[in-house]
Amino acid sequence: MERNAPGICCLATSPGWNDLQLTKNCGIVPFLFHKLFGFRAVMAGGRNGEYPSLTRYLPGVVMEFIENPDGPDVVRYIETRAADIDLLVLHGPQEYYYAAPLTRYRQLRPDGKVYLELDPNGAWMDQLPWNTPGFRAFLEKTDVVGTSCRKMQRYLAAKWPCRVEYLPNGFHDFSGTDRPVDFSGKEDVILTVGRIGTLEKRNSLLLETFASIADELPGWRVRFVGPATPDFQALAAKLLAARPDLKDRIELPGPVYDKKALLQEYRRAKVFCLTSFKEGGTPNVVAEALFGGCYMITSAIDGAEDIVDEGRCGDVFPIDDGAALADTLRRACGNKARLLRGGQRARQYGSENFDFTKIVRRLYYLLYGEGGAK
């Protein structure tokens, strides 16, 4: 890449990016700025593990490491690299971390652009001192503020002294294998993907609810794809010891890091189920499930209506309500026409609204207009 090409830098808070974030919005945005618009793309922060996804999925993106990501080294990094950073991307309104680097960047690059990417939930955002002079000054130094959830966009736009854009977390086909979904080949599988067993995900609700109604859903299986906590593994083992008849119907295959194989998980499943009690905006797995043509079932998190397209491709149940989840699963899994219609709409809805290439092109336009980056 030519040195006179514009540069994008995505700055991490401490302790730095981890490998999983590289194939989510954190890494996809700089990668697509490089691929679509010729930017020199950098992800900067502390070293936080190994990064096999960097060379496998993000060709052209460079990682630069800040020795002490909790101290003045972050400001020194900005001072050293400001001339190469035409677009600075910050993740979350972390004023305590970003304020000093952002102020220094604005002093050195008044011509530069700043994108503040938000992935918030309402409970967290309510704790921010948004009306203080310091926070207002922080917002004034940004050019585009985007959030991944329409409900949070409306909520923040009513409170914050700036325009808030809707820029969802989308799907990018890293494997190059995305194609029309064969709905006739889908299996009677309820799928969930993520960090299985973490407190906010409430995966135990799906586990226990499925076990309670499994006899009413003959032939159906549930798959928990992702790294599972020891507590969740123990809970599943205890349940299966009591219900050995379910040993082939409750599956914990572990994490699937290969993007082609992960896409196949979504394409095979008829239902995707999210049981979280809170999420930051619209989770990345939602776009993947929509592109996989899954019928969407979600708890009433902030992004719920975005996830189900206001009921056109799925259902919402109250948070932590196992009885409601059971009714929702019975209603969906017992109606083939409903599943097919919702899955087909999910695929169309995902293509229309969650294609990351379209999302990044819109972000580029919001930053630079018709004239483009100079």
pLDDT digits (tens, 9 = 90+) for 209-236: 999 999 999 999 999 999 999 999 999 9
- Is residue 116 within 8 Å of residue 140, measured between CB atoms? no
Two tokens, residue 143: 């050019």
Two tokens, residue 201: 């995900």
- Is residue 198 within 8 Å of residue 228, measured between CB atoms? no
We find that the CATH architecture of domain 7-170+355-371 is: 3-Layer(aba) Sandwich (3.40)
CA-CA-CA-CA torsion sign (185, 190, 194, 196): negative
Q: What angle do CA 349, 268, 223 make, to 5 degrees?
A: 105
Report the pLDDT value the prediction gives residue 3, as an integer from 0 to 100: 60
Two tokens, residue 57: 């999925």
Where does 183-352 sit in CATH, by number? 3.40.50.2000
> What's the predicted TM-score (pTM) here?
0.94
CB atoms within 10 A of CB 373: 18
- Is residue 137 within 8 Å of residue 109, measured between CB atoms? no
Would strands 164-166 and 187-193 be described as parallel, antiparallel, or unpaired? Answer: unpaired
- Is residue 97 within 8 Å of residue 70, measured between CB atoms? no
Report the pLDDT value the prediction gives residue 267, as an integer from 0 to 100: 97
Distance, C-alpha 373 to centroid of its chain: 27
> Does residue 367 sit in helix, strand or coil?
helix
- Helix (H) or strand (E) run with residue 34 in it: helix 25-37
Report the pLDDT value the prediction gives residue 2, as an integer from 0 to 100: 54
Strands (E) located in the chain: 7-11, 40-45, 61-65, 87-91, 113-118, 144-147, 164-166, 187-193, 221-225, 250-254, 269-274, 295-299, 314-317
Residues forming beta bridges with residue 117, ordered by sequence position:
91, 146
- Is residue 28 within 8 Å of residue 356, measured between CB atoms? yes
Segments of the chain assigned to CATH 3.40.50.2000:
7-170+355-371, 183-352
C-alpha to C-alpha distance for 281 and 152, rounded to whole angstroms: 7
- For the chain, which residues score pLDDT lower than 70? 1-3, 121-126, 374
Report the pLDDT value the prediction gives residue 157, as an integer from 0 to 100: 87
Give the CA distances from residue 177 to residues 25, 100, 263, in Å, rounded to whole numbers and listed in that order.
Answer: 20, 43, 8
Report the pLDDT value the prediction gives residue 117, as an integer from 0 to 100: 95
